[in-house]
Amino acid sequence: MPTYRFTLNGSPVTIDSPSDLRVLWVLRDLLGVNGPKYGCGLDECRACTCHVDGRAFATCSTPVSEIDGHDITTIEGLAATVPGAGPGTLHPVQQAWLEHDVPQCGFCQPGQIMMTAALLAQVPEPTDDQIDQIRNVCRCGTYFRIREAIKRAAELMARDRSDG
């Protein structure tokens, strides 16, 4: 069985795995990282969204062979990506999600937050049309609060940039 090495939430990881095992199952079953969720397995619902080198990707549809040597971040490691992060630090997207009390059942929310964090890293002030490009499914219908929280997260990040 091949060996793969990558960085997971800032720590080096080495695993032996079939080359076609999807990253979602590497994270959940081999590494016990359960933030990314299984919804469809078809790159449709985006409940499984994590970051590879800062970009959002569907872990359910990506074989582990494609992340070899890359930097993977899950919801568990998102806050630690904030410069100067310490115990209790939240990523601005997480802070905005709390302020707007976004989750209902919560199942889709790790993916929603990871997708939003990746968007705001690329597009600091997204338009409504750009926000609508996010296609993550929420079966509880929290879309209105998600939109408001994305705008709030953009504000928080702009404030952090001006303070920094």
- Taking the least distance from each CB to ligand FES, the nearer of 85 and 105 is 105
Alpha-carbon gap, residue 96 to 46, rounded angstroms: 20
- Applying CB under 6 A, does 109 fall inside the site for ligand FES? yes
- Applying CB under 6 A, does 44 fall inside the site for ligand FES? yes
**With helix as H, strand as E and coil as C, how does 101-116 read?**
CCCCCCCCHHHHHHHH
- The number of residues that bind ligand FES (CB under 6 A) is 23
Residues β-bridged to residue 8: 11, 72
Helix and strand element counts for the chain (H, E): 5, 5
Nearest distance, CB of residue 130 and ligand FES, angstroms: 20
- Applying CB under 6 A, does 146 fall inside the site for ligand FES? no
Alpha-carbon gap, residue 135 to 138, rounded angstroms: 9
**For the chain, percent helix, then strand, then coil, each to nearest 5?**
40, 15, 45
Candidate ranges 79-87, 88-96, 127-135, 137-145; the one touching ligand FES (CB under 6 A): 137-145
- Applying CB under 6 A, does 9 fall inside the site for ligand FES? no
Would you say 115 and 72 are in contact if contact means Cβ atoms under 8 Å apart? no
- Taking CB under 6 A as the criterion, which residues in 10-39 touch ligand FES? 38-39
Candidates 15, 31, 40, 121: give the one binding ligand FES (CB under 6 A): 40
Alpha-carbon gap, residue 118 to 32, rounded angstroms: 23
Candidates 142, 152, 154, 157: give the one binding ligand FES (CB under 6 A): 142
- What does the binding site for ligand FES look like in residue numbers (CB under 6 A)? 38-41, 43-48, 58, 60, 103-109, 138-140, 142
